[in-house]
């Protein structure tokens, strides 16, 4: 059996015990005589999976009855649109912090719906860090404030979330959800495509404050009625079973969340993630400038480690020699180049040790 060291940015590595459990339940799910893919989403078995997944998200984040967890298709990208459609009515302004490529995409979609204020931009600094508190200028009464907890492409991450007063705080957490403990109760809405840290592609997890759902718009700024499938309230009212959900993806998310609980929860996961990231940043910092990290020290991502080599030729050589040594997925995003090591929850410490060792050897040979 060949499992490779998988540094892919998303879809990404899944925990081996989860894949093994899915394999063992694939032909006959717990006596049902069929797989989860083949069963009705209205069956008792599937309803239990759906309820279990919602309960696990809440348990891991320490959330209570005042929050709902929704499973929505369309990835994080649909959330870029669905959020303003529900919460950016005519006459209101939403504040966005422009911290990288994904924040830019969220802004592009919100701008199509309504008024957007860029409360801070890191663009001139090539997205090398998150803004400090005194660099954020919120509008008077924003409909919400949107941040991106981890910029997957640039490899910069918030270490402390901004204080936005009474404004509803929203975060795209696609690439770092469930990677560390944080105060989820500060957020009105959190969304994440599952395919980086908590499952396969095909489903986004939306965590939303119950009282905020009730404030959502039902008409579009032009006056048309917001279609049912685009309303958070539709998903909440129907326990994410308004229409056929991505049932197998939700099943996989539930298994991954169970695996996180087995590891000891978010504090334990963070400890390993910290060790993993430290190994690779140490290889960068110990290379006498051969590797140049993209992120400023205080904003270094624990999930996506981005760096450059002295030339593009060396970067190509790095990626291809790493591949030959059993490490894949290390090429930077096509928009920024360089190297990116995505080291999500399911990637092992051993994989990061292997990469750090490879990096040191590569400097010795080519530095
Ligand atoms: C990958 C990613 C997205 C896009 O996710 P899709 O599920 O492909 O729409 C959005 N935001 C962040 C931070 C991401 O990492």
Summarised one tens digit per residue, pLDDT across range 286-313 is 999 999 999 999 999 999 999 999 999 9
Residue-range domain boundaries for the chain: 17-262, 265-366
CATH architecture group of domain 17-262: 3-Layer(aba) Sandwich (3.40)
Query: Which three-class secondary structure state does DSSP give residue 244?
Result: coil
Separation between Cα atoms, residue 22 and residue 255, nearest integer Å: 8
Is the CB of residue 197 below 6 angstroms from any atom belonging to ligand 1? no
Cα–Cα distance, 35 to 213 (Å, whole number): 34
What span, in angstroms and rounded, lies between the C-alpha atoms of 77 and 57?
21
Distance 220 CA to ligand 1 centre (A): 25
CATH architecture of the domain covering 265-366: Alpha-Beta Complex (3.90)
User: 148: Cβ below 6 Å to ligand 1?
Assistant: yes
Is 220 a residue whose pLDDT tops 90?
A: no
132-170 pLDDT per residue, tens: 999 999 999 999 999 999 999 999 999 999 999 999 999
Q: State the catalytic residue, choosing from 158, 172, 176, 212.
A: 172
Is 102 part of the annotated catalytic residue set?
yes
Active site residue 323: no
346-359 pLDDT, tens digit per residue, is 999 999 999 999 99
pLDDT digits (tens, 9 = 90+) for 251-266: 999 999 999 999 999 9
Looking at ligand 1, which residue's alpha carbon is closest to its atom 2?
174
The pair of three-digit structure tokens given for residue 237, joined into one six-digit string:
């009212």
61-65, 323-327, 335-339: least confidently modelled range: 335-339
pLDDT recorded at residue 322:
98
pLDDT at 223: 86
Which are the contacts of 245, defined by CB distance < 8 A and separation ≥ 6? Answer: 41, 50, 71, 73, 203
For 265-280, write each residue's pLDDT tens digit. 999 999 999 999 999 9
pLDDT score at 207 = 98
- How many angstroms separate the alpha carbon of residue 366 from the centre of ligand 1? 35
Mean pLDDT of the chain: 97
Q: Which two tokens stand for residue 53?
A: 């997944």
Could you tell me the pLDDT band of residue 175, with boundaries at 50, 70 and 90? very high
How far does the centroid of ligand 1 lie from the alpha carbon of residue 193, in Å?
Answer: 6
Q: What is the pTM of this model?
A: 0.98
What is the CA(118)–ligand 1 centre distance, in A? 20
Q: How many residues does the chain have?
A: 367
pLDDT at 1 over 80: no
Question: 95, 176, 196, 276: which is the annotated catalytic residue?
Answer: 196
Q: What is the pLDDT of residue 245?
A: 98
Q: Is 47 helix (H, G, I), strand (E, B) or coil?
A: helix
pLDDT at 12 over 80: yes
Question: Hunting for tokens 């936005």 — which residue is that?
Answer: 164
Catalytic, 196? Answer yes
Protein residue whose Cα sits closest to atom 12 of ligand 1: 174
Kindly give the distance from the C-alpha atom of residue 102 to the centroid of ligand 1, in angstroms, as a whole number.
7
Out of 95, 102, 176, 259, the active site residue is 102
């Amino acid at each position: 059996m060949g499992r490779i060291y998988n540094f892919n940015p998303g879809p990404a590595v899944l925990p081996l015990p989860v894949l093994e459990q899915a394999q063992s339940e694939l032909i006959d799910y717990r006596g049902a005589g069929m797989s989860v893919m083949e069963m009705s989403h209205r069956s008792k078995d599937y309803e239990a999976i759906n309820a279990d997944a919602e309960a696990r998200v809440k348990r891991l984040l320490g959330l209570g009855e005042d929050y709902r967890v929704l499973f929505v298709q369309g990835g994080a990208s649909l959330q870029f649109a669905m959020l303003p459609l529900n919460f950016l009515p005519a006459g209101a302004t939403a504040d966005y912090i422009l911290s990288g490529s994904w924040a830019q995409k969220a802004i592009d979609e919100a701008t199509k719906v309504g008024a957007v204020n860029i409360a801070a931009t890191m663009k001139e600094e090539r997205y090398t860090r998150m803004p400090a508190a005194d660099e954020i200028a919120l509008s008077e009464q924003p409909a919400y404030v949107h941040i991106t907890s981890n910029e997957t492409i640039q490899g910069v991450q918030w270490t402390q979330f901004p204080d936005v007063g009474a404004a509803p705080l929203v975060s795209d957490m696609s690439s770092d959800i469930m990677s560390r403990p944080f105060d989820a109760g500060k957020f009105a809405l959190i969304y994440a495509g599952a395919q980086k840290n908590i499952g396969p592609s095909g489903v986004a997890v939306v965590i939303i404050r119950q009282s905020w759902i009730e404030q959502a718009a039902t008409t579009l700024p032009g006056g048309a009625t917001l279609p049912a499938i685009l309303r958070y309230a539709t998903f909440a009212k129907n326990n994410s079973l308004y229409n056929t959900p991505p049932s197998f993806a939700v099943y996989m998310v539930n298994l991954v969340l169970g695996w996180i609980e087995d590891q000891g929860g978010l504090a334990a996961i963070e400890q390993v993630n910290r060790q993993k990231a430290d190994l690779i940043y140490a290889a960068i910092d110990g290379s006498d400038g051969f590797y140049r990290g993209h992120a400023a020290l205080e904003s270094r991502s624990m999930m996506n480690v981005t760096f450059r080599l002295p030339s593009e030729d060396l970067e190509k050589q790095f990626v291809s020699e790493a591949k030959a040594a059993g490490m894949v997925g290390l090429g930077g995003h096509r928009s920024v180049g360089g190297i990116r090591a995505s080291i999500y929850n399911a990637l092992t410490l051993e994989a990061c040790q292997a990469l750090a060792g490879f990096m040191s050897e590569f400097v010795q040979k080519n530095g």
